[in-house]
Amino acid sequence: MSLNIYSIIAIAIAAICTFATRVVPFALFGGRKEVPVVITYLGKVLPPAIIATLIIYCIRNVDFLTYSHGIAEILAIATTAILHIIKKNTLISIGGGTIIYMFLVQYIF
Amino acid sequence: MDKSTLKYAFNRTLPVLFGYIFLGFACGLLLYNAGYNFIWVFFISLFVYAGSGEMLLASLLAARASFGTIAALTLLLNSRHMFYGLSFIERFKKAGKFYPYMIFSLTDETYSMLCATRTPKHLSDGKVITLIAVLDHLYWLLGCIMGALMGQILSFNFKGVDFAMTALFVVIFVEQWKSFKTHIPVYIGIICSVISILIFGANNFILPSLISTVGLLMLFRNAVDNAKQTKSEAIEICH
């Protein structure tokens, strides 16, 4: 499969799946039917578990056992989290964490 | 379209303007680094239109992930959107022929913006919510295209810019951590991920991890519900 065809199919799948998640409540509960309890339960507890999984996904290829032991990743994640706890501003947290990370991987490690 | 409606909607969306230009810029850069120029980025942002979902797509495209992985991850990452629509089942009907577009464009930011918007009586709520949705989409497109173009033009070393996606998830994580009474779901997510990495390897762990996470969350439903209650009771007693 050529890269262009792969990309077009991949993007179409992502677009359809994104729309699918948004259309579900309108398709299922548009007629004011009751939302099943198990769905509301999963809707509440699934997001934090998924976000934790995704953070691990982002650092899945970091090798903590050999040099540089993921120090850049740990420092940048800590910076992002601390900035967000103190400043509560998404742009500052993401911008600050990313700049620290870019500096660390380009100049230190 | 009258001026006062446009002015009202534009003022409402100003916070999203800054957020989306910035996040879109990072996303456009990621897509460009993954090998997609601004024309690709325009169509991706037009049709996929999901902040974190699109950043994830950039890394999936760069890794040439399988279609099954792309579908599963997109569905799971965006599964929270299933619950956004519940608040707007009646209100979106006011958008008339834009009803399908309103559903399509219900991102995290548009959702919170619409939740917070009580349209003044002299304006049409249907028009206001449609304009808010369209403006947010335009900001996102603008940010993404700027990011892709800058990636192409600047000879700046962008190594490490992909951390923006990690940082976005860390920010969401911190916010959820503070608002949640029990952290059992987070622990389940982490444990399932680590065990899945050890068994399936770093590049195939995500599906088994998410499936076992859903399974364990169902299994420990009582414990999670009880933990939520005990904490809230404890807080009530403190008050």
Alpha helices, DSSP H, located in B108-183:
108-115, 125-153, 163-179
B133 and B54 co-located in one domain: yes
Partners of residue B23 in chain A, C-beta under 8 Å: 94
Partners of residue B186 in chain A, C-beta under 8 Å: 48-49, 52
For residue range A24-40, what is the model confidence (pLDDT) as tens digits?
A: 888 887 766 666 777 77
Nearest neighbour of B213 by CB, restricted to A11, A40, A53:
A53
B132 and B196 co-located in one domain: no
**What's the pLDDT at B231?**
52
Domain encompassing residue B40: 3-153
In a domain, B213, yes or no: yes
Q: Give strand ranges (E) for A3-92.
A: none
Asked if the model's pLDDT at residue B236 lies above 50, the reply is no
B135 and B184 co-located in one domain: no
B17 and B120 co-located in one domain: yes
- By the 8 A CB rule, do B165 and A40 touch? no
- By the 8 A CB rule, do B36 and B148 touch? yes
In a domain, B50, yes or no: yes
Our count of domains for chain B comes to 2
In a domain, B162, yes or no: no
For residue range B77-124, what is the model confidence (pLDDT) as tens digits?
A: 887 777 778 778 778 888 999 999 999 999 888 887 787 778 888 888
Amino acid at A40: T
B149 and B196 co-located in one domain: no
B145 and B205 co-located in one domain: no
**What's the pLDDT at B181?**
83
B102 and B215 co-located in one domain: no
Q: What is the ipTM of this complex?
A: 0.85
Asked if the model's pLDDT at residue A84 lies above 90, the reply is yes
Interface test with A, best of B42, B67, B82, B207 (most A CBs within 10 A): B82
> Residues 6 or more apart from B66 whose CB is under 8 A from it?
none
B126 and B213 co-located in one domain: no
**What's the pLDDT at B235?**
39
Report the distance separating Cα B5 and Cα B129, nearest Å: 10
**What's the pLDDT at A65?**
81
**What's the pLDDT at A33?**
63
Asked if the model's pLDDT at residue A44 lies above 80, the reply is no
- Which of the two residues, A7 and B108, has the higher pLDDT score? A7
**pLDDT confidence band for B148 (50 / 70 / 90):** very high
In a domain, B173, yes or no: no
B120 and B227 co-located in one domain: no
Report the distance separating Cα A33 and Cα A16, nearest Å: 25
For residue range B32-69, what is the model confidence (pLDDT) as tens digits?
A: 989 999 999 999 999 999 888 898 899 899 989 999 98
Partners of residue A51 in chain B, C-beta under 8 Å: 169, 172-173, 176, 189
Contact B192 A55 (CB under 8 A): no
Asked if the model's pLDDT at residue B222 lies above 80, the reply is yes
Whether B206 and chain A come into contact, CB under 8 Å, resolves to: yes
B120 and B195 co-located in one domain: no
B105 and B43 co-located in one domain: yes
